[in-house]
């Protein structure tokens, strides 16, 4: 299985740690050149992981790993990500994974405008801007894969009474941004159908305990409320290599694995024991 993406050029956002770093590693293990981007190069004030660490891990697979330091909430930074990534990879982006997200949890009644803007810049405008930037080359090539990372927070609560879960209504703005991203995925899939460009979303069925998620909710979750990083990555990478008629979908990781009969591999692309 390793090497199925040999020669492909990919760009993964939010790749300094967590799901983004894991997806980037699996793409590299499958033979792709992988450009990685995040806000900071070498450190984070509170969380482990950095672009430099991810780059070093990916380079062990013998692939090209250019780094683009950029803030996705800044429009000017967003405009240079795709050109710099393509230059570093030696050609246009063929696989785009919009993983980076701003998760700011706060009740709606006092959620400030500044934080709402940050959330939607990172979670809605940035993925669409990067998608628009890669589409021309993908259209010319007659193929391309765009995968957006979403969340179960996009789903509505039924009620009353409402079962709000461990985070309560504080996830609403984040969830609203992911619901918007899901709708963009569906619209882009429909609009681009027939061009060879596949646009899909994948969300975890359960929590994936990345560094950020573990810090936020890890201690409040039961084992049955958690899925492995490898499972989330398996579903994501499947959509980075899917047939042309798979587009415009909002998929759930574990459901996709079951429906497609996928074998879950390690981040290095080898079968798990």
CATH number of the domain within which 71 lies:
3.40.50.720
Query: Phi and psi at residue 49, in whole multiples of 5°?
Result: 105, 150
Quick one: pLDDT at residue 174? 97
- What Rg, from alpha-carbon coordinates, does the chain have? 18
Quick one: pLDDT at residue 165? 80
Mean pLDDT, to the nearest integer, of 109-129? 98
Active site residue: 78, 178, 198, 265, which one? Answer: 178
Of the ranges 81-85, 211-215, 220-224, which one carries the lowest mean pLDDT score? 211-215
> Which is it for strands 95-98 and 197-203: parallel, antiparallel or unpaired?
unpaired
Q: How many other C-beta atoms are found inside a 10 Å radius of the C-beta of residue 73?
A: 19
Strands (DSSP E) found in 168-252: 197-203, 207-208, 226-227, 250-252
Q: Is the pLDDT of residue 262 over 90?
A: yes
Q: Is the pLDDT of residue 171 over 60?
A: yes
- Going by pLDDT thresholds of 50, 70 and 90, the confidence category of residue 206 is confident
* Rounded (5°) CA angle 85-89-90: 115
Quick one: pLDDT at residue 126? 98
- Going by pLDDT thresholds of 50, 70 and 90, the confidence category of residue 114 is very high
Q: What is the pLDDT of residues 14-60, one digit of tens each?
A: 999 999 999 999 999 999 999 999 999 986 656 678 999 999 999 99
Quick one: pLDDT at residue 3? 87
Quick one: pLDDT at residue 28? 98
Mean pLDDT, to the nearest integer, of 64-73? 97
Percent helix / strand / coil, the chain, rounded to 5: 45, 15, 40
Quick one: pLDDT at residue 221? 57
Quick one: pLDDT at residue 144? 98
Mean pLDDT, to the nearest integer, of 100-104? 96
Residue 4 lies in a domain: no
- Going by pLDDT thresholds of 50, 70 and 90, the confidence category of residue 1 is very low
Q: Which residue has the higher pLDDT, 165 or 70?
A: 70
- What range does the domain containing 248 cover? 9-260
Q: Is the pLDDT of residue 185 over 90?
A: yes
Q: Is the pLDDT of residue 139 over 90?
A: yes
What is the tally of structural domains in the chain?
A: 1
In the chain, the percentage of residues whose pLDDT exceeds 70 is 91
Residue 119 lies in a domain: yes
CA distance 47 to 266: 23
Q: Is the pLDDT of residue 266 over 50?
A: yes
Quick one: pLDDT at residue 44? 60
- Going by pLDDT thresholds of 50, 70 and 90, the confidence category of residue 164 is confident
Residue 2 lies in a domain: no
Rounded mean pLDDT of the chain? 92
Residue 49 lies in a domain: yes
Active site residue: 61, 120, 145, 174, which one? Answer: 174
Q: Clarify whether 178 is annotated catalytic.
A: yes
């Amino acid at each position: 299985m390793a090497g199925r993406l040999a020669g492909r050029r990919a760009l993964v956002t939010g790749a300094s740690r967590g799901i983004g770093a894991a997806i980037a590693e699996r793409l590299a293990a499958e033979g792709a050149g992988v450009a990685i981007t995040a806000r900071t190069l070498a450190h984070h004030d509170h969380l482990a992981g950095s672009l430099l660490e991810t780059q070093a891990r990916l380079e062990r697979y013998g692939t090209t790993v250019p780094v683009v330091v950029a803030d996705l909430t800044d429009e000017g930074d967003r405009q240079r990500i795709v050109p710099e990534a393509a230059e570093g990879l030696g050609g246009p982006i063929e696989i785009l994974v919009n993983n980076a997200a701003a998760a700011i949890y706060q009740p709606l009644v006092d959620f400030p405008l500044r934080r709402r803007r940050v959330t939607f810049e990172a979670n809605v405008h940035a993925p669409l801007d990067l998608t628009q930037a890669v589409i021309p080359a993908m259209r010319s090539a007659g193929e391309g894969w765009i995968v957006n990372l979403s969340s179960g927070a996009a789903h509505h609560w039924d009620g009353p009474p409402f079962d709000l879960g461990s985070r309560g209504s504080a996830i609403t703005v984040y969830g609203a941004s992911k619901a918007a991203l899901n709708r963009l995925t569906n619209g882009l899939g429909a609009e681009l159908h027939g061009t060879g460009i596949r646009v899909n979303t994948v969300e975890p069925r359960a929590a994936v305990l990345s560094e950020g998620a573990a810090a936020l909710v890890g201690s409040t979750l039961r084992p049955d409320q958690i899925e492995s990083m490898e499972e989330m990555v398996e579903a994501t990478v499947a959509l980075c290599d899917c047939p042309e008629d798979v587009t415009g979908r909002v998929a759930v990781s574990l459901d996709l694995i079951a429906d497609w009969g996928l074998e879950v591999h390690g981040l290095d692309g080898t079968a798990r024991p």
